[in-house]
Structure 1
Amino acid sequence: MFEKNEILNWNENNWKKKAFVNFTEDLTGKNPKFPCIFGTSGYQKNELRFDFFQSIDIESIKLLGQSLIEYLKIAKKLGSYTSFVAFFNIETNKDVEEYEKDFWRVLNMLHRIDESPWPEDISKDTNNPQWEFSFGGEPIFVVCNTPAHKLRKSRSASTFMITFQPRWVFDEIGLLTPKGEKSKKVVRELLKKYDDISEYPYLGSYGDPENKEWLQYFISETNEVSNIEKCPFHQMLNQNSMELEQVKYVSGKNISLEQAVFELLPETGSVEVQRDTPLREHKTHTHPTNETLLIIEGEITFYAENQKISCKSGDRILLPANTKHSSIAGPNGCLYIIALEFVDPKIEKTKEKVGAAL
């Protein structure tokens, strides 16, 4: 975790320094003026803290969780305009919808690794006006910026970026007071000048009966929401459904072709047997359905969601529908089974043994 002066003094001309310089230029620009006057004040007062992450895989999210905990311990000492800003070194050529999936994946992984209980005074129902994302026992307002945002410049950044702001900050700066209402009006006026799109219709105040807080976390390039009743975080609170939202690797033991077929074979249906010759490469592509790949012989390396996953006999990969991925077989080739569904031994009932089935 870093403060601005540390980063500005870095000599390295790497992605971290570049991302931060672009962030600084956006936040402190005068023509037009950045709409979030609270964030600008926090930057000027050196109340913001920052960190950088190479990916959005589980290991990077664990590091993010550690930084967030460190930040939350000192946040109140930093001041009333404090926030924690996380920069991620992932692809910069995705579209808004892809970044939105990345954003909710990050929040859900954070939730999975959170060792603190959900705050008692914060609703777990995402459609409740009293709901707020929480981590480390602290309710936190979250904002995502991406390189894909062009019209909504207030949500644009040179790299994938997430800002975490403790809920108590809004109380301390008095957003529900007459002064706070005046400040919100100033922000709205600045937004009109800053963005090349009309005001987002779901901007609201926490606790208002008609407000759904999650709708403000990730705002798209349009003023439409595909399903206003189903928050992506709410859908992933269930363990089984969470597993379906991200690529998963499951290590296993050597397995025969017969065992693999019976393990993945559905009650009614079929599986596919695939053989790749040595070093056979499958270029980046997607599938419209969920898939499980169970390795039988040889080795294969998958590349998906900024992860490199090496598999051998008995290992399996769970690929959610529409996940961009590629692969390359090992020096001896690879034989594997493909099932058009998720078959995870950790969450599925164990199949009958091959001998019993025969």
Structure 2
Amino acid sequence: MFEKHEILKWEENDWRKEVFLNFAKDLTNKDPKFPCVFGASGFQQNQLRFDFFAGIEKESIKLLAHSLKRYLKAAKSFGSYTSFVAFFNIDTNKSIQEYEGIFWDVLKELHKIDEEPWPIDIPKDTNDPKWEFCFGGEPIFVVCNTPAHKLRKSRSASTFMITFQPRWVFDEIGLLTPNGEKYKKIVRDLLSKYDEIPEYPYLGSYGDPGNKEWLQYFIPETNDIKNIDKCPFHQFIKQEANNMGKVSYISGERVNLESAVIELLPETGSVEVQRDTPFREHKTHTHPTDETLLIIDGEITFYAEDQEIKCKSGDRILLPAGTKHSSIAGPNGCLYVIALEFISPEQQKKEEVEYAN
């Protein structure tokens, strides 16, 4: 982990110094002015910290995890505008889609090697407005910049780059205050002048109903987003729970039937809509496939693996194949969607090998 004055002392032909200078040029540019005024202020006040990684293989991500952990322990001493910026020395000619896949793979790998438990007050459902990526016990807003971003210059960089900003930073700078709303408008106005494409339609504020933080992590070059419900990180968390062979409960906000069906429909498999009358009981049974149940309306209590799990609208239960479970609907009955995913023995074996590695 480095400060900017240390990096400036390095040799001119060092790739690390080269990408840093390009980054510094963007943040200090006056015409057009860089839209993230908080990041620019943090840079000027030496509150940002940096590190550099030779690639994106597992060893590099382990080094990233180590550096990020060090940063998080000291972050509050750096100031209210602090962020941790990670630069990666990889191919700069990849497509937007390739960089997006790499970005989510980095977050997945960080999660796999994270030694701290997921904070209990942060939901694991990425479509919950209070979801945020977490590492080292800290919620972190994450931003990716790539060389493939041309029109959306606010997300452009000379190399693949990820910025990690602790969630508490936004509280410190008062984004939820009247003064914070003023700065948010300033940032949006600057974005309209900086980018060569209209404003991204899914910019939102943490915690607002309907906001999805993950949609702001990797912003593409186009505003035409085909599926805003299937987050790669959420799919990974679901598979992780299934591979662990344990029942998983994810708390969430209210959801309507149409969006639930679209979100849960697997690539290979089906969904069914189930309505239980008040106090309808399903006796103990199992299923040969993995199941995800997303509650639409009402309440239901599941019993599985010595757990009693009470669910309401927006909550979901992940049931690995073969799990013994039962349920009873609440006094108002329950409406829910069940996703049944068919996994061939060959695919199951492949996924188990990939997860193990």
Cα distance in structure 1, aligned partners of 2:128 and 2:44: 35
Distance 2:141 2:12 in 1: 32
Shift of residue 344, structure 1, vs aligned partner: 4.3
Shift in CA distance, 347/159, structure 1 to aligned 2, threshold 3 Å = closer
Match of 2:107 in 1: 107
In the alignment, which residue of structure 2 is the partner of 1:160? 160
The corresponding residue for 1:206 is 206
Q: 1:162 to 1:345 in 2, by over 3 A?
A: closer
Structure-1 residue corresponding to 2:150:
150
Cα deviation 1:158-181 (Å, max 9, x = unaligned): 000000000000000000001100
Question: CA shift at 1:343, angstroms?
Answer: 4.0
Question: How far 1:8 moved relative to its partner?
Answer: 1.1
Amino acid at match of 2:97: E
Q: 1:215 to 1:242 in 2, by over 3 A?
A: farther
Matches within 5 A, 1:1-358: 1-239=1-239, 343-344=349-350
1:236-281 CA distances to partner (integer Å, 9 max, x unpaired)?
11446999xxxxxxxxxxxxxxxxxxxxxxxxxxxxxxxxxxxxxx
Q: 1:278 is matched with which residue? A: none
Give the distance between the partners of 2:149 and 2:191, measured in 1 at CA: 14
Structure 2 vs 1, CA of residues 347 and 53 (structure 1 numbering), >3 Å: closer, same or farther?
Answer: closer
Q: What CA distance in whole angstroms lies between the structure 2 residues aligned with 1:345 and 1:10?
A: 43
- In the TM superposition, residue 226 of structure 1 has moved relative to its aligned partner by 2.5
Contact 2:12 2:18 in 1 (8 A): no
Gaps of 5+ in 1: 244-338, 349-358
> Residue 25 of structure 1 aligns to a residue in which SS?
helix
Amino acid at match of 1:202: Y
Contact 1:152–1:197 (Cα < 8 Å) also in 2: yes
Measured in 1, the distance between the counterparts of 2:63 and 2:74 equals 17
Counterpart CA distance in 2 for 1:211 and 1:344 is 35
**CA shift for structure 1 position 342:** 6.8
Secondary structure at 1:181 match in 2? helix
Cα RMSD of the aligned pairs, angstroms, is: 1.9
Find the aligned partners of 2:121 and 2:135 in 1 and give their Cα distance: 14
Number of residue pairs matched? Answer: 253
* Shift in alpha-carbon separation, 1:22–1:345, aligned structure 2, 3 A: closer
- Quick check: 1:236–1:242 contact (8 Å CA) kept in 2? no
- The DSSP-based 3-state class of the residue aligned with 1:236 is helix
TM-score of the pair, normalised by structure 2: 0.68
Cα contact 2:92–2:147 (8 A) shared by 1: yes
| CA distance in 2: counterparts of 1:31 and 1:139, whole angstroms | 33
**Deviation of residue 227 (structure 1)?**
1.3
Contact 1:144/1:217 (<8 A) preserved: yes
Shift of 1:345: 9.4
The equivalent residue for 1:293 is: none
